[in-house]
Amino acid sequence: MSLFSSLAEDSSDPAVIIDGLALDRARLRRAIRAHLAALDRAGVAPGDRVAVWTERAASTVVALVGNALGGVVSVPLNTSLGARELEHIVNDARPTCVIASDPGLAARTPSRPMLSAIDDGSRGDHQLPDRRVDDAPLLVLYTSGTTGAPKGAILTARNVASNLDGLARAWALTERDRIAHALPLFHVHGLCLGLFGALRVGASLSWQTRFDPASLAASIDEGATVVYAVPTMYHRVVELAERDSAVARQLARARLLVSGSAPLSTREFHRIERACGQRVVERYGLTETLINCAVRSDAVARAGWVGPAVDGVHVELVDDARTPSVPRDAATIGEVRVRGDNVFAGYLGRSDATAKVIDADGWFYTGDLAVMDDAGWVRIVGRRATDLIKTGGFKVGAGEVEAALREHASVSDCAVVGVADDDLGERIVAFVVPQPGVERPTSDALIAHVASLLSAHKRPRDVRFVDELPRNAMGKVVKSALIAKP
């Protein structure tokens, strides 16, 4: 079966609606043909890696879908990438070329040949290449770890297609659905589940390129049946729905509200149910494994539970010795490990790091701590690493932010932690020891400094100046003491 067979069929429903502008299947096919012709002219061959600046525009959709169909491996780039992170990704992924429409973005990646994504010179409706579901790489997605720079997770066509098929069964997705989301296209959630997921089942996608709670809710009135969002977005939508009954009525009309990328708090789950009568369906995944567990649309969602394994995924809880002896009693905590076609092909050029997370039997160790009940439902209760922060649904390594802060001349020492936050889930807070004899920087200057080197979402939201950091007898910073600080 091919990856996006629905694209070949015509439908009265648009394939993608971008900020209200509809792109039907014939128009999308034409734009993709033109894109593939441009890749050809640039000498890009199947299997090559091509970086795509994920601008908030139709050109991004065309480039990402076109690359997938042409067998070209996309490396999506967040448009807010700072200098240090961009340099790392380009050096690590070594893309054959970079796709950008915006001249400002094109100028930021000067050492690579540049392609403008929509070259609409072509006329007529041509057939698209038939991309089979194979084990060749489809995407390289950069994801943060506890230490060091982000690693490129290689996802194959089979990883993505098998997982999307499992999710389509879990949520009874069909070509009659319209999925609405306001997520970026440089991560699994917006790109794989949202864009590729809609195309795989033949549903239409309403992509809002900027998140606005009222517009996301309004998309349901405009025909969306399913909403994909991170908990921060649901938090902001329900704040609005509590004040505005029209918004609550819009939410009530959705067939399915799906939350993922971070835990949806019990409080928000109940608030949403009170406001609009809908129980949000949670699902749980990682960049490296796509989605492991999902509450099915025909089940009764329970606050805090992410549901059973998605079809095709094996999910187990293991103890510290990696033995699957953890009872399914909804109380005993173990680490989640998963196996199946969903598990990625490894980190680009990092067999050492890959070997740490995948064992000889193909089990991937998530680092997430959970309990399981006797029906196989999973509740995530924490994670092994304290140096990983989930903020607004984005994963951020504390070490990466600390390294960026240390590049500032006025920082002598620092420690970065995630502090519980009603809106973002976790808020990045930096504790900074100023360099003696140097003028103390403002918080805003340090925040802007981090944003200039990394992505905007990796910037601290708070900077606290301290004389020294709490350390244990081994000299290691005691982060729990910092998190506990008021």
Q: Which residues bind ligand MCA (CB under 6 A)?
A: 80, 183-184, 187-190, 211, 230, 232-233, 260-261, 285-287, 392-394, 447-448, 451, 456-457, 459
Q: Could you say which of 286, 372, 463, 477 contacts ligand AMP (CB under 6 A)?
A: 286
Measured from the CB atom, the residue of 69 and 388 that comes closer to ligand MCA is 388
CB of 470: closest distance to ligand MCA in angstroms?
27
Number of residues that bind ligand AMP (CB under 6 A): 18
Site for ligand AMP in 203-262 (CB under 6 A): 260-262
Query: Which among ligand AMP, ligand MCA, none contacts residue 282 (Cβ within 5 to 8 A by kind)?
Result: ligand AMP
Q: How far is CA 42 from CA 127, 137, 368, in A?
A: 21, 20, 43
According to the 3-state scheme, what is the secondary structure of the chain?
Answer: CECCHHHHCCCCCCCEEECCEEECHHHHHHHHHHHHHHHHHCCCCCCCEEEEECCCCHHHHHHHHHHHHCCCEEEEECCCCCHHHHHHHHHHHCCCEEECCCHHHHHHCCCCCEECCCCCCCCCCCCCCCCECCCCEEEEEEECCCCCCCEEEEEEHHHHHHHHHHHHHHCCCCCCCEEEECCCCCCHHHHHHHHHHHHHHCCEEEECCCCCHHHHHHHHHCCCCEEEECHHHHHHHHHHHHHCHHHHHHHHCCCEEEECCCCCCHHHHHHHHHHHCCCCEEEEEECCCEEEEECCCCCCCCCCCCECECCCEEEEEECCCCCCCCCCCCCCCEEEEEEECCCCCCECCCHHHHHHHECCCCCEEEEEEEEECCCCCEEEEEECCCCEEEECCEEEEHHHHHHHHHCCCCEEEEEEEEEEECCCEEEEEEEEEECCCCCCCCHHHHHHHHHHHCCHHHCCCEEEECCCCCECCCCCECHHHHHCCC
Q: Could you say which of 383, 385, 457, 483 contacts ligand AMP (CB under 6 A)?
A: 383
Q: Is 390 in the site for ligand AMP (CB under 6 A)?
A: yes
Position of tokens 């009874």?
Answer: 172
Q: Is 263 in the site for ligand AMP (CB under 6 A)?
A: yes
CB of 403: closest distance to ligand AMP in angstroms?
19
Measured from the CB atom, the residue of 33 and 459 that comes closer to ligand MCA is 459
258 and 228 in contact (C-beta within 8 Å)? yes
CB of 286: closest distance to ligand AMP in angstroms?
4
Measured from the CB atom, the residue of 346 and 393 that comes closer to ligand MCA is 393
Q: Is 281 in the site for ligand AMP (CB under 6 A)?
A: no
Q: Is 341 in the site for ligand AMP (CB under 6 A)?
A: no
Q: Is 479 in the site for ligand AMP (CB under 6 A)?
A: no
Q: Is 337 in the site for ligand AMP (CB under 6 A)?
A: no
Query: Which among ligand AMP, ligand MCA, none contacts residue 392 (Cβ within 5 to 8 A by kind)?
Result: ligand MCA
Query: Which among ligand AMP, ligand MCA, none contacts residue 137 (Cβ within 5 to 8 A by kind)?
Result: none
CA 263 to chain centre: 14
Query: Which among ligand AMP, ligand MCA, none contacts residue 263 (Cβ within 5 to 8 A by kind)?
Result: ligand AMP
Query: Which among ligand MCA, ligand AMP, none contacts residue 338 (Cβ within 5 to 8 A by kind)?
Result: none
User: Which range binds ligand AMP by CB under 6 A, 13-21, 244-252, 282-290, 410-418?
Assistant: 282-290
Q: Is 306 in the site for ligand AMP (CB under 6 A)?
A: yes
Measured from the CB atom, the residue of 262 and 415 that comes closer to ligand AMP is 262
Query: Which among ligand MCA, ligand AMP, none contacts residue 368 (Cβ within 5 to 8 A by kind)?
Result: ligand AMP
Q: Is 380 in the site for ligand AMP (CB under 6 A)?
A: yes
How many residues in the chain? 486
CB of 438: closest distance to ligand AMP in angstroms?
35
Site for ligand AMP in 132-191 (CB under 6 A): 143, 188
Measured from the CB atom, the residue of 451 and 483 that comes closer to ligand MCA is 451
Q: Enumerate binding residues for ligand AMP (CB under 6 A).
A: 143, 188, 260-263, 282, 284-287, 306, 366, 368, 380, 383, 390, 395
